[in-house]
Amino acid sequence: MNIPLPPTDNLYKFIAIFGLVVTVVGFVFPRILIFDLQTQIIKLQGEVVVLQAIAHDLHPKPDGKDFVSTYVEVKAKLQVIEGLARQIESLAILFAIGVGAGVFLMLNGFSFWYLRVQRYQDKILKNDAEKRLTHRSTRTRAPTARSG
């Protein structure tokens, strides 16, 4: 499998392509992680509901061991849920920073590339094409016969 090489002929083009890659990675990667974390939260919330129902049925008994252990387990799962929610918030910030930085690099790279390089290359190409066309048209003209 051939991996495409980044453009190294022009710094602005490289910045633009790099910004595009950062934008795509900054958009996709945190979304995948956030989805996984949300799935874990939903699973843990289901377990908490089950444990709360079990704790409700146990009612504190004189020794209270089953009730206390279930209560502790519920508290631990709720703390895990809170930790996962904080991770989601951090990933959302990472998402915003990554996409923002990528878009900034991409737009600046493409605009500098066009304004400082590409439009001059287009003018050179246009002038070269016009020279070839005028040279070809003067060369292919047949001499006219004058009657005298």
* Cα separation, 14 vs 4, whole angstroms: 13
pLDDT in tens, 43-97: 988 888 888 877 777 666 655 567 777 778 888 888 998 999 999 999 889 889 9
* Cα separation, 103 vs 141, whole angstroms: 53
Q: Is 128 helix (H, G, I), strand (E, B) or coil?
A: helix
pLDDT at 147 over 80: no
SS (H, E, C) 28-93: HHHHHHHHHHHHHHHHHHHHHHHHHHHHHHHCCCCCCHHHHHHHHHHHHHHHHHHHHHHHHHHHHH
- Per-residue pLDDT, 22: 92
Each domain of the chain, given as residue ranges in start order, spans 11-109
pTM: 0.60
pLDDT category, 103, cuts 50, 70, 90? very high
- Per-residue pLDDT, 141: 60
- Per-residue pLDDT, 142: 54
- Per-residue pLDDT, 130: 87
- Per-residue pLDDT, 61: 61
